[in-house]
Structure 1
């Protein structure tokens, strides 16, 4: 929970404001010149650019030292993920700034889930207008979201809003190929990746890039079950790109989990219920499982993604443990 003093500073117009820009993000890159022009007219905001790990380290350490009350992140899901990892590592949660996301990446799931839509320069102009108004400012719209914490023995913790395995991770890996150079971003780009993954599944190619993910799960009784899955996702967000909500659990827990088994029955007929939030009609015995939880453990040797960034899990380090952290507070413009 963010400190009340941060909220008070926002309402009285006394907040120390910082902004981190990733100029390499899909949307930000297209509008970099106009974004820089707007930012030049906002000299009272501490500003940093990030394009590599060293930049992330420097900027987050600087904003902590400057005691920033309100941090604006102009970037995509990967930029947010990089900042979250450093904030969790270096700053107690009660000392965090309030966060605002301006969607400037190739994918912007967290911003869209918070209801923040539009071109980054247009949103930045609205922000500038808001800051130019006389204090006190209108009460800010604050939204809380939980955060995933992914741990494995001997590895650094990874924090983020979305975790994916199987076709999801394969699709992200494909998106790092030359297709990214065509300049398409956002929902259109994601649609292309999803269609390409589904086409590979339909063709049944034995190539490793289409391989299902093999996972061993352990239940509360200590019983181990191994299975092959087309994909697995865990999300702290209420909806994903294109407005889809591919989970349908009813448990009062913050993390949404969905497993789709390899060779699940009526897969092609099930795609629409999966993406339209109507998965309650899908049956566990047919290979579709979804529930809400506070934690889960997975044993696997495979790649996984967190907010579009690729990582690798290995069974030699024990289970991959996914739990909930936060919540963190976002200010929605």
Structure 2
């Protein structure tokens, strides 16, 4: 196990402390972490906690809380972000949670992209340090709700920003087996996976291998849908990969939902509606969009939260809630 080093920072009245949590095992960090270390060494008001074991995040957060950091930066992929958010909410290491910023240190970095944290991790870190130093950080803060995932598996609620089922889970597994093992750039690989799954589901005459088992989904208090689904999607992000926004705008809940039922022609019509800006207009039968506070799913299939895959427990329901929110930095 990697010992978690913490660089001691020197505080001053004019320099707020910045804390950086770096997952050394994240894909991008394997190449670019040395540049992040060099930048941290050049800035005495920055703490740096490195880890390889995800369980060490709790120790890092406790140190950041004791130091009183004014900005907490998560350097890793979506799975690292999810684990950190879950620890922040469940363990409550901070009396007041500081604003959170993201460095794109992983493979997918969908959350970092949504917050416009693009580029090499050290370049993004340099921008964040400059915002703190010049007193402009507050201008870039945005409040984002989290998805609380309860699996009834004895684990605390997990918190993230992107939930999926059916084709989304199968797409992640397909990408891991066919894209991530090769030399194709990650972003291009995800685009290839999305196009493949959409075309396969939309235009094949055969039943989609990406569809779910029989599933019942309850949205809030007044909507229920039952059957097989090609897509089950819930997110609090403002956009997804390839800048897509395949979710609903109707309602006032924080969870943006899209359900595409597995019926002949529905996926094709949903794709056309997405491309023509009519995705959430209610014109496609079998396509359901909404914004709700909570979701309950009864079904046997695995689901994903920010790229991590989880399996239902003995037929117990999967529950999603959007009642937690934190401040993030949007560059």
TM-score, length basis structure 1:
0.83
CA distance in 2, matches of 1:139, 1:158: 28
Call closer, same or farther: CA 1:74–1:275 in 2, change over 3 Å: farther
Matched residues, number: 318
- Which residue matches 1:122? 123
- Which residue matches 1:312? 311
* Structure ranking higher in helix proportion: 1
- Which residue matches 2:72? 71
- Which residue matches 2:22? 21
- Which residue matches 2:9? none
2:192 equivalent to 1:192: yes
Secondary structure of the residue that 1:290 maps to in structure 2?
strand
CA distance in 2, matches of 1:213, 1:275: 28
- Which residue matches 1:329? 327
Of 319-328 and 122-131, more deviation after overlay is shown by 122-131
Secondary structure of the residue that 1:182 maps to in structure 2?
coil
Call closer, same or farther: CA 1:248–1:264 in 2, change over 3 Å: farther
Of 121-130 and 300-309, more deviation after overlay is shown by 121-130
Secondary structure of the residue that 2:228 maps to in structure 1?
strand
- Which residue matches 1:148? 147
- Following superposition, the deviation at residue 254 of structure 1 comes to 1.2
- Following superposition, the deviation at residue 71 of structure 1 comes to 0.3
- Which residue matches 2:90? 89
Q: Relative contact order, CA 8 A, sep 6+: which one is greater?
A: 1
Q: Give the 5 Å matches for 1:1-333.
A: 13-91=14-92, 95-130=96-131, 139-156=138-155, 157-177=157-177, 179-201=179-201, 202-203=203-204, 210-218=210-218, 226-274=226-274, 277-281=277-281, 283=283, 286-316=285-315, 318-333=316-331
TM-score, length basis structure 2:
0.84
Call closer, same or farther: CA 1:137–1:270 in 2, change over 3 Å: closer
Checking the alignment, whether the CA contact within 8 Å between 1:140 and 1:332 is kept in structure 2 is no
CA displacement 1:1-33 (0-9 Å, x = unmatched)? xxxxxxxxxxx7443321011233333333233
CA distance in 1, matches of 2:220, 2:233: 20
Checking the alignment, whether the CA contact within 8 Å between 2:146 and 2:161 is kept in structure 1 is yes
Call closer, same or farther: CA 1:149–1:221 in 2, change over 3 Å: closer
Of 209-218 and 96-105, more deviation after overlay is shown by 209-218
- Following superposition, the deviation at residue 281 of structure 1 comes to 4.5
Call closer, same or farther: CA 1:276–1:150 in 2, change over 3 Å: farther
Call closer, same or farther: CA 1:249–1:140 in 2, change over 3 Å: closer
- Following superposition, the deviation at residue 226 of structure 1 comes to 3.1
